[in-house]
């Protein structure tokens, strides 16, 4: 009877295990196996013939363009962590109050994340365009023609322009999560603080921030993971150019796989990128535990 | 309760199994109908309607149904074909996008049928009606570096070449004789001065798509140092720091310093470049013969002509990229190889090629189908003798070197690198890649 129950339990768990194995464990195993091989993605895969050990990883460690792309993704992430999340928090704080038409604002702020990334990229590419662009047109019309430039072809501005659009497109996610977090704070705490004569800043500093720490951590982890993997915007706006100025890890992986037919190397890039993201998330989780305790 | 649930669970599993089995039986049931049909995968969205019309005609003539399946854009198509190759589900006819080494890998893996015998049959009647340069792109010669058995492995359905275009109205507006487009680099620079004085942009091209930079630079490399030296560079016998290569890179520096390049050219996709040229926003464009159809759609009144890129040296002739525009291959593992070959023979016959050319404004691959094509298109056709393509060179450059070459030229255009710096950087990568071999 006991054996039967155990078997029944395994039977019920089996679909989940199967799905997890097929869609997570096997692909990871396959990618890792390929990362140890030299394979063009066309010929029938023969592990014994294509096995090259850790040569792809050794090359990857010496690949300056790859690490440059990682730094550039880091730069976009830094901007997203600061400006994007600050904007999201400000708007969430504003919408948390009983303001007129609050729901309309919520819908408006949540619109950019819903839009297709390719469409957003193409529209903003047109706005930034050096020939027809609206941005240059506006700058000229308000007498700032000295600022007119080829925003996406200028190596000094291209990456920041992409980062700004990424923030514009992404702040809605943070806004929704932060707003949900703000709404879970008991109103009585604010009322009590008010009775004690606390100012708005004191209430924000001593009530809102401590209670929002877990939400801030969640938002920051999602921001880092989401932003490091940015690539659709870049493909539609600059395709990594000019030169390598807007290359990010995912565009490099695509370049290795599609342009150079180096599937093995692309897989080693994928494994390395995954390891970096895992390490960053691990640090964030450790930090969050420390902050909670503090 | 538990027993009932288990019974229900097992019954559900059985129903799912039965349904899947029945679905898999579907194609067998269709096979019983004995309808002869072949499947063609392509990526050419602009040709889909014309293909469907031809398929209808072919079915009426022969009773063979041609199922064209469009998968666009080309990046997605490329991935689909590669995935299908891995799972042995390639259609009867398909195209291979990519470089010659990818094509070679498909052939070596046994996915592509050798068409040499069919091409040579009846004293080469099929082969002889196609442009030789277009056929060469699909051919592997004796002792090729890819190690592929020599032969013809694809059929070009149209041809293309990439040249420069000039806007006659803008040239006239700048006081230039539009009937005499520039033939030398010096003349080009002089005309650019006049254009600049009138506030007009010089050259526009989709150099955000780096293969177009590669193409432009390659034209001038052939012009300045000749084919042999270019190929010797790929073989590793001539360094990229050679003065001739520095001269090639310096042309881009010169264009930048002379203000000849359209604003934002380094991140510009070719579609945007085509819009600018079609809307009279630049006097020159560097584009392929497919542009005739594109410009016609964007601005039917555009008054333009075609010219070879102006020569930077008189040592060697100007050679341009060209050859097969799009090609089809027959799946070696298909059960309908002969039907597929017959269809490809038919589609490259003169009446079908004339139809395709009229519908799509592409150059036909059949050299006896050039009648009744528009003037501009015939100008493109006239330059077919000047064409070459990396796929016919017999040696291929490492993809890492190509990327460094193209991205490096972008860096020259944005003023980040000098031609000498670029030459040294590419050479360092080249040497590293040579060591790997």
From first to last of its 294 residues, what are the pLDDT tens digits of chain A?
Answer: 678 888 999 999 999 999 999 999 999 999 999 999 999 988 888 899 999 999 999 999 999 999 999 999 999 999 999 999 999 999 999 998 877 888 888 889 989 999 999 999 999 999 999 888 999 999 999 999 899 999 999 999 999 999 999 999 999 999 999 999 999 999 999 999 999 999 999 999 999 999 998 899 899 999 999 999 999 999 999 999 899 999 999 999 999 998 888 999 999 999 999 999 999 988 988 888 887 777
Q: From B130, B160, B79, B195, select the one nearest B365 (Cα to Cα).
A: B130
Mean pLDDT, chain B, rounded, equals 90
pLDDT digits (tens, 9 = 90+) for B319-344: 999 987 899 999 999 999 999 999 99
Max Cα distance, chain A (Å) = 85
Dihedral of CA atoms B12, B15, B17, B22 in degrees, nearest 10, equals -160
CA B276 to CA A120: how far, in whole Å? 22
Give residues 148 to 167 of A whose Cβ lies within 8 Å of B: 150, 152-155, 158
CA A173 to CA A271: how far, in whole Å? 27
CA atoms A199, A200, A203, A204: torsion sign: negative
Is B413 close to A154, i.e. CB distance below 8 A? no
Q: Which residue has the higher pLDDT, B352 or B325?
A: B352
Nearest to B267 among A45, A153, A244 (CB): A153
Other CB atoms within a 10 A radius of the CB of residue A44 amount to: 12
Dihedral of CA atoms B130, B133, B139, B141 in degrees, nearest 10, equals 130
Which of A18, A34, A42 to probe by mutation at the B interface, max B CB count within 10 Å?
Answer: A42
List of chain A residues whose C-beta atoms are within 8 Å of the C-beta of residue B82: 41-42
Residues B227-249 have a mean pLDDT of 97
Q: From B329, B326, B309, select the one nearest B317 (Cα to Cα).
A: B309
List of chain A residues whose C-beta atoms are within 8 Å of the C-beta of residue B399: 259-262
CA A172 to CA A183: how far, in whole Å? 16
Is the pLDDT score of B30 beyond 70?
no
Nearest to B276 among A44, A131, A242 (CB): A131
- Partner residues linked to B163 by β-bridges: B287
Closest-approach residue (CA) in chain A for B103: A42
Is A40 close to B276, i.e. CB distance below 8 A? no
H/E stretch holding B157: strand B155-167
Is B263 close to A152, i.e. CB distance below 8 A? no
CA B286 to CA B215: how far, in whole Å? 10
CA A52 to CA A62: how far, in whole Å? 17
Quick one: pLDDT at residue B29?
A: 45
Min Cα separation A100/chain B (Å)? 44
Which of A41, A149, A153, A269 to probe by mutation at the B interface, max B CB count within 10 Å?
Answer: A153
pLDDT digits (tens, 9 = 90+) for B117-174: 999 999 999 999 999 988 999 999 888 888 899 999 999 999 999 999 999 999 999 9
Min Cα separation B25/chain A (Å)? 25
* pLDDT above 90: percentage of residues in chain B: 73
List the single range of A28-37, A278-287, B184-193, B245-254 with lowest mean pLDDT: A278-287
A260 touching chain B per CB within 8 A: yes
Dihedral of CA atoms B362, B367, B369, B374 in degrees, nearest 10, equals 50
pLDDT-based confidence at B280, cuts 50/70/90? very high
Q: Which residue has the tokens 């600050």?
A: A86
Give residues 42 to 71 of A whose Cβ lies within 8 Å of B: 42-45
Is A258 close to B101, i.e. CB distance below 8 A? no
List of chain B residues whose C-beta atoms are within 8 Å of the C-beta of residue A45: 86
Is A241 close to B399, i.e. CB distance below 8 A? no
Q: Which domains does chain B have, with CATH numbers?
A: 36-159+323-392 (3.40.190.10), 161-322+395-436 (3.40.190.10)
Is the pLDDT score of B395 beyond 80?
yes
CB A248 within 8 A of CB A231: yes
Q: Residue B159: what are its φ and ψ, rounded to 5°?
A: -125, 165
List of chain A residues whose C-beta atoms are within 8 Å of the C-beta of residue B268: 153
pLDDT-based confidence at B17, cuts 50/70/90? low
Quick one: pLDDT at residue B170?
A: 96
CB A267 within 8 A of CB A35: yes
Quick one: pLDDT at residue B145?
A: 81
The complex scores an ipTM of: 0.84
Quick one: pLDDT at residue B11?
A: 62
* pTM (predicted TM-score): 0.85
CATH architecture of A65-293: Orthogonal Bundle (1.10)
DSSP A246-282: T--HHHHHHIIIIIS--HHHHHHHHHHHHHHHHHHHH
Is B105 close to A244, i.e. CB distance below 8 A? no
Nearest to A42 among B9, B85, B272 (CB): B85
CA B380 to CA B288: how far, in whole Å? 9
Question: Do you find a cis peptide bond into A275, omega within 30 degrees of 0?
Answer: no
Q: Which residue has the tokens 């017959």?
A: B342
Which of A242, A251, A255, A258 to probe by mutation at the B interface, max B CB count within 10 Å?
Answer: A242
- Partner residues linked to B37 by β-bridges: B65
Max Cα distance, chain B (Å) = 94
List of chain B residues whose C-beta atoms are within 8 Å of the C-beta of residue A243: 266, 407-408, 410-411, 414, 416
CA A148 to CA A139: how far, in whole Å? 7
Nearest to A131 among B78, B102, B264 (CB): B264
Quick one: pLDDT at residue B358?
A: 87
Is B267 close to A258, i.e. CB distance below 8 A? no
Instruction: Give the start-to-end residue ranges of the domains of chain A.
Output: 65-293
Encoded tokens for B279: 């809307």
Is A242 close to B98, i.e. CB distance below 8 A? no
Quick one: pLDDT at residue B3?
A: 61
Quick one: pLDDT at residue B382?
A: 87
Q: From B159, B158, B151, B143, select the one nearest B118 (Cα to Cα).
A: B151
List of chain B residues whose C-beta atoms are within 8 Å of the C-beta of residue A129: 264, 272
List of chain A residues whose C-beta atoms are within 8 Å of the C-beta of residue B101: 40, 261
CA A69 to CA A265: how far, in whole Å? 16
List of chain B residues whose C-beta atoms are within 8 Å of the C-beta of residue A238: 208, 267
CA neighbours within 13 Å on the CB side: how many for A270? 21
CA atoms B224, B163, B351, B154: torsion sign: positive
pLDDT digits (tens, 9 = 90+) for A214-248: 899 899 999 999 999 999 999 999 999 899 999 99
Three-state DSSP class for B322? strand
* pLDDT above 70: percentage of residues in chain B: 92
Is B264 close to A43, i.e. CB distance below 8 A? no
Closest-approach residue (CA) in chain B for A236: B269
pLDDT-based confidence at B106, cuts 50/70/90? very high
Give residues 378 to 437 of B whose Cβ lies within 8 Å of A: 399-400, 403, 407-408, 410-411, 413-414, 416
CB B240 within 8 A of CB B427: yes
Other CB atoms within a 10 A radius of the CB of residue B133 amount to: 20
């Amino acid at each position: 009877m006991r054996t039967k129950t155990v078997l029944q339990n395994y039977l019920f768990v089996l679909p989940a295990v199967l799905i997890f194995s097929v869609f997570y464990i096997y692909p990871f195993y396959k990618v890792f196996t390929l990362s140890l091989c030299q394979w063009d993605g066309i010929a029938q895969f023969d592990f014994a013939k294509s096995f090259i050990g850790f040569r792809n990883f050794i090359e990857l460690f010496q690949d300056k363009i790859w690490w440059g792309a990682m730094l550039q993704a880091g730069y976009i992430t830094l901007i997203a962590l600061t400006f994007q999340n600050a904007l999201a928090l400000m708007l969430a704080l504003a919408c948390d109050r009983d303001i007129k038409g609050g729901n309309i604002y919520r819908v408006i702020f949540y619109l950019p994340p819903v839009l297709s990334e390719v469409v957003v990229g193409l529209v903003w590419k047109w706005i930034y365009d050096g020939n027809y662009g609206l941005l240059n047109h506006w700058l000229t019309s308000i007498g700032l023609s000295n600022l007119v430039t080829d925003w996406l072809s200028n190596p000094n501005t291209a990456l920041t322009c992409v980062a700004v659009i990424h923030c514009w497109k992404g702040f809605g996610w943070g806004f929704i999560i932060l707003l949900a977090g703000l709404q879970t704070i008991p109103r009585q705490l604010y009322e009590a603080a008010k009775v004690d004569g606390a100012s708005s800043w004191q209430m924000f500093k001593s009530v809102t921030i401590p209670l929002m720490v877990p939400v801030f951590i969640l938002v920051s982890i999602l921001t880092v993971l989401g932003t490091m993997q940015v690539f659709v915007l870049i493909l539609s706006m600059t395709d990594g150019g000019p030169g390598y100025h807007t290359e990010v890890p995912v565009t490099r992986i695509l370049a290795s796989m599609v342009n150079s037919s180096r599937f093995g190397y692309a897989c080693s890039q994928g494994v390395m990128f995954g390891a970096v993201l895992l390490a960053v998330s691990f640090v964030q989780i450790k930090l969050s535990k420390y902050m909670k305790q503090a | 309760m538990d027993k009932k649930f288990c019974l229900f669970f097992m019954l559900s599993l059985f129903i799912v199994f039965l349904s899947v089995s029945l679905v898999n039986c579907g194609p067998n049931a269709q096979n019983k109908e004995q309808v002869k049909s072949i499947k063609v995968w392509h990526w050419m969205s602009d040709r889909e309607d014309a293909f469907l019309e031809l398929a209808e005609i072919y079915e009426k003539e022969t009773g063979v149904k041609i199922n064209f399946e469009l998968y666009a854009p080309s990046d997605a198509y490329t991935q689909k074909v590669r995935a299908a190759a891995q799972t042995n589900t390639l259609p009867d006819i398909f195209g291979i996008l990519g470089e010659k080494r990818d094509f070679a890998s498909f052939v070596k893996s046994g996915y592509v049928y050798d068409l040499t015998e069919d091409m040579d049959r009846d004293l080469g009647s099929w082969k002889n009606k196609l442009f030789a340069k277009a056929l060469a792109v699909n051919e592997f010669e004796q002792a090729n570096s890819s190690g592929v058995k020599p032969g013809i492995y694809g059929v070009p359905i149209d041809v293309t070449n990439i040249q420069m275009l000039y806007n006659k109205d803008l040239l006239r507006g700048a006081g230039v004789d539009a009937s005499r487009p520039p033939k030398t680099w010096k003349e080009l620079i002089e005309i650019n001065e006049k254009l600049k004085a009138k506030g007009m942009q010089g050259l526009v091209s989709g150099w955000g798509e780096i293969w177009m930079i590669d193409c432009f630079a390659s034209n001038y490399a052939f012009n300045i140092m000749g084919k042999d030296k270019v190929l010797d560079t790929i073989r590793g016998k001539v360094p990229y720091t050679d003065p001739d290569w520095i001269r090639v890179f310096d042309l881009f520096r010169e264009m930048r310093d002379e203000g000849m390049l359209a604003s934002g050219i380094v991140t510009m996709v070719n579609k945007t470049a085509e819009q600018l040229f079609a809307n009279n926003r630049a006097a020159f464009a560097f584009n392929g013969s497919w542009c005739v159809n594109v410009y016609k759609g964007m601005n039917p009144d555009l008054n333009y002509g075609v010219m070879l890129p102006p020569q930077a040296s008189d040592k060697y002739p100007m050679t341009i990229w060209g050859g097969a525009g799009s090609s089809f291959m027959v799946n070696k593992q298909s059960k309908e190889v002969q039907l597929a070959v017959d269809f490809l023979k038919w589609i490259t016959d003169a009446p079908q090629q004339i139809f395709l050319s009229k519908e799509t404004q592409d150059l036909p691959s059949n050299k006896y189908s050039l009648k009744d094509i528009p003037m501009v298109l015939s100008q493109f056709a006239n330059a077919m003798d000047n064409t070459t393509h990396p796929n016919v060179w017999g040696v291929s450059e490492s993809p890492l070197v190509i990327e460094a070459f193209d991205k490096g030229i972008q860096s020259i255009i944005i003023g980040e690198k000098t031609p000498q710096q670029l030459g040294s950087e590419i050479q360092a990568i080249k040497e590293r890649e040579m060591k790997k071999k």
